[in-house]
Chain A
Amino acid sequence: MAKVLMKGNEAVAEAAIRSGCRLYFAYPITPQSELIEYMSRMLPKVNGTFLQAESEVAAINMVYGAAGAGRRVMTSSSSPGISLKMEGISYIAGANLPAVIVNVQRGGPGLGDIQPAQGDYFQATKGGGHGDYHTIVLAPASVQEFADMASDAFDLADAYRIPVMILSDGMLGQMMEPVEFKEAKTDEEIAKLDNQHKDWCIHPKEEGEAPHHNEINSLEIDPRVLEQHVLDLEKKYKLIESKEIKVEEYNINKDNDMVCVAFGTASRIVRSAVDQLNAEGKNIGLIRPITVWPYPYATIANALHDKVKKVMVFELNLGQMVEDVKLAVNGKVPVGFFGKVGGIVFTPEEIKAKIEENL
């Protein structure tokens, strides 16, 4: 397929439809509006369901219902709306349901602003809703990757029966880049996907099928049963941690002067700075977590070669990921941080200066 120039918001929507998503429920919010608008235009053309919900709370609960019925379903929002979805995401996790949630982050807290930010890292990676649960969190750094993650997210959600969040931001949502899409799934392939969960999902009893009483539920009133349920969830999370970590190692080698860590939009800017410094004869490495849960602790630990005297973390928040980097570094070297908030994005020059300062 030829490349097309597209906004991230539209690219992820198109990719979701191509991945077999035929149900989408959401509430408008900047800077993700192109996503909901794209879905409203395109889903009816493929006999899909687009529904503008009365709130993000309603939207995520519609997702809970459709996921409980075993079909590929997605919702999207930006930071304030994602906060409202947290109740539903906890229920989806508790009920072992597959679902995809896109967060096009903006500045917070509260109403904040509508510029790009990464302030929802804690919320996305540490839970966000109540209870012991995890959401797989994918952090794209380009429009192409944003689009590719739609199909990854659905596959992961279906494989593990887990909510998967794509954690992007207003920059990736709004900017246009060339993107190449995968082949769209055929109607037969989609029908197969829609039938893959018949052993547990809500569906009519079909000819020849035994009567079934499937329960979509997160309630276990008996503490011993709930204990087992939560431990079973933990087993699933351990399995995901052992199999699904994705990370990009950029110029990581045993002669690195410094290792930087950044994800998403921030990582692109850091990469420009790293390129400039390396062109000037330095040897700086960059680790870019692609999954921010599960987190690539081992990759960071293994990159601490002899000459690395410091690890620098760059984020568009006040250092939320630093905690994870420190866990990985485990006190071996100091961990420094530079970030911007309020929807202000740092420049490559600022990053370059920060790296030089800390070399």
Chain B
Amino acid sequence: MQVIATRPKSLTDLQFTYCPGCLHGVAHRLIAEAIDELEIQDTTTGVAPVGCSVFAYKFFDMDMAEAAHGRAPAVATGIKRARPNMQVFTYQGDGDLAAIGTAEIVHAANRGEHISVFFVNNAIYGMTGGQMAPTTLPEMKTSTSPYGRKTDDVGFPIQVCELLNTLQAPYYIERVSLLSPADILKAKKAVKKALTYNKEGRGFTIVELLSTCPTNWGMTAIDSLKWAKEKMVPYFPIGKLRDRGEE
């Protein structure tokens, strides 16, 4: 018998605790597969955020740290500086990375810190019950923007990749989506590229993964994929913003 698909070695046996239709599990799997393929499980460590993926430190089968809300890039910096031979990644949601952790991500990127950041953008605070995020779309209703996000009051969604692309130091910046099987395959390539550059010690890498939150968007999984393609992708265009490895 030939095994053609199995659980990646870099994930533990624990069952994911995510809601039905949530894509955090897909993102975890892509990262774990890439780690397996690059054969870096023994030298890789990750930093989990505060958010729905807070238990990522239990799901990845390697040494892991759980950071305070938004501080994952600083924690990863400390680990990388203490253990320079390790590949260090952070896994962060949009509230974690683009609101409370804005300073930490900008400065880790600006230092060209040798870490990989996997940034899961679902346009909402999932864990705390669907409040407005810095990435919430204009007019989008959330539990703290019940009349829709008013841009004249709270501004526009932050485009993190574009923001970081103004800095000199980052090595690789790409935005992908998890909204279709074809997109997931492309996302996998980007994740693997980031970790390859990490392994090679090239510099700061970030992959933004456009995602959904059926539970807090109040939609079925299928509808949320459709909504994300129609509303999120135009505002957060898919594509590579920078790849110093290919310049």
Contacts and interface: CB of A to CB of B under 8 A. Distances in A.
Interface string A59-79: 101111111111101000000
A65 B82 contact: yes
Interface stretch (A47-55, A329-337, A338-346): A47-55
A260 to B, nearest CB: 41
A202 B103 contact: no
Given A54-B107, A61-B75, A204-B43, A71 B63 contact: no
A54 B167 CA distance: 15
A274 B43 CA distance: 60
A61 B71 contact: yes
A213 B63 CA distance: 5
Contacts of A218: 66
A219 B54 contact: yes
Nearest to A219: B66
Contacts of A95: 66
Nearest to A72: B82
Contacts of B57: 215-217
A170 B53 CA distance: 43
A322 to B, nearest CB: 33
Interface in A198-252: 201-205, 211-219
Contacts of B103: 54-55, 57-58
A69 B83 contact: yes
Contacts of A201: 63
Nearest to B74: A61
Contacts of A203: 63, 83, 86
B78 A67 contact: yes
A202 B104 CA distance: 21
Nearest to A64: B75
A215 B74 contact: no
B61 interface: yes
A350 B212 CA distance: 68
A215 B66 contact: yes
Nearest to B12: A213
Given A204-B85, A212-B63, A68 B78 contact: yes
Interface in B67-90: 67-68, 71, 74-83, 85-86
Nearest to A218: B66
Given A88-B68, A213-B64, A54 B79 contact: no
A295 interface: no
Given A203-B63, A215-B57, A49 B81 contact: yes
B58 interface: yes
B107 A69 contact: no
Contact residues of B: prevailing secondary structure: helix
Contacts of A54: 103-104, 106-107
A216 B45 CA distance: 11
Contacts of A37: none
A202 B43 CA distance: 10
Interface in A305-343: none
A62 B81 contact: yes
B158 interface: no
B104 A213 contact: no
Contacts of A219: 54, 66
A66 B78 CA distance: 4
A202 B83 contact: yes
B194 interface: no
Nearest to B47: A65
Interface in B1-50: 12, 41-43, 45, 47
B42 A202 contact: no
A121 interface: no
Contact of A65 (B12, B54, B78, B85): B78
A324 to B, nearest CB: 30
B202 to A, nearest CB: 19
Interface string B119-134: 0000000000000000
A53 B113 CA distance: 12
B65 interface: yes
A62 B66 contact: no
A58 B76 contact: no
Contacts of A211: 41-42, 61
Given A65-B82, A70-B82, A217 B65 contact: yes
Interface in B86-117: 86, 103-104, 106-107
A215 B14 CA distance: 15
A25 interface: yes
B62 interface: yes
B42 A68 contact: no
A71 B82 contact: yes
11 contacts: A49-B81, A58-B104, A61-B71, A61-B74, A65-B75, A65-B80, A66-B78, A69-B79, A88-B71, A204-B43, A215-B63
Given A58-B77, A215-B58, 8 more contacts: A54-B107, A57-B104, A65-B65, A65-B79, A65-B80, A67-B78, A69-B78, A213-B62
Interface of B: 12, 41-43, 45, 47, 54, 57-58, 61-68, 71, 74-83, 85-86, 103-104, 106-107
Interface of A: 23, 25, 49, 51, 53-55, 57-59, 61-71, 73, 87-88, 91, 95, 201-205, 211-219
Q: Which 7 A-B pairs have the closest CB atoms?
A: A65-B78, A61-B74, A69-B82, A62-B78, A205-B42, A66-B78, A54-B107
